[in-house]
Amino acid sequence: MPHVVRAGRSIHHSREGDGPGVVLIPGLGAGARLFGTLPRRFARSGFTCAAIDPVGLSPSSPLPDGTFSFVEAARDALAVAATLPRPVALVGTSLGGKVALQAAAEPGAPIDGLVLLCSSALQTERSRRVYRWFEILCTEIDGRFLGELTAPFLFGDTFLQNKANVVDDIVRATKPSDESRVFMRTQARALQQFDGRTLCAKVRTPTLCLAGAEDNLTLPKEVEATAACIVGARHECIADAGHSLLLESALAYDRIVGFLRGA
């Protein structure tokens, strides 16, 4: 698997396929494994797809000072994007969408498309409490219970009802290491300080914002409000889907591919 080195930071990522570039940026506490076989699916659709293991999670390098920075994470993503064929797009889910937004706002960013999945640029009293909840979960709660405690919020009601066995498998497989729990904690703390409203005004890249109608973590109205802050951004709310949009809805993938081809 390739690594990109930037400012003393080693960013590990997968790489699949040929064609226009797509960089997948994972959410809170997650790495490239979050996306499963999705990179191969993008490759079959004619893209070169890279899924990032963020700095702070091995096999990428540790966080230099133990603190997660959206600016540095965004520049890491841009360093990976620079290795892919143009046009290249960033696709970020949840926290990864905030990283992608930060990257798209960088002057001269070498990207041609931006996709935000269940991700909001807006900081609210509710969102701060949600991020504080995650900080407590990964600090005070036995990691063996993390999957069980988060499942009702990571998936929409439709998926929980219709794919209960899949959810059970995910819960059983959720066994965070000490490293990943520390990383999740520092990300949760950074989220409590993040407000991307000013970043939205700097984005001129074609943008797609997708929400899940059953998302209880990032509310659909927050995604819609984010899209309204980005010039020319497209917005859609996917029915019968929650926060884990790409897992829950085949339509979400189709919308992304259609957008990327058009962009």
Residues 124-153 have pLDDT tens digits of 999 999 999 999 998 888 878 888 888 889
The overall average pLDDT reported for the chain is 93
Q: Are 103 and 79 in contact (CB under 8 A)?
A: no
CATH code for the domain defined by 3-122+196-262: 3.40.50.1820
Tell me the domain boundaries of the chain: 3-122+196-262
Task: List all residues 6 or more positions away from 237 whose beta carbon is below 8 Å from its beta carbon.
Answer: 210, 211, 212, 213, 220, 223, 224
Summarize pLDDT for 64-106 with one digit per residue, the tens.
888 999 999 999 999 999 999 999 999 999 999 999 999 999 9
Q: Using CA atoms, how far apart are residues 258 and 139, in angstroms rounded to an integer?
A: 40
Query: 112, 118, 108, 110: which is closest to 25 by C-alpha?
Result: 118
Q: What pLDDT is recorded for position 146?
A: 84
CB 215 within 8 A of CB 153: no
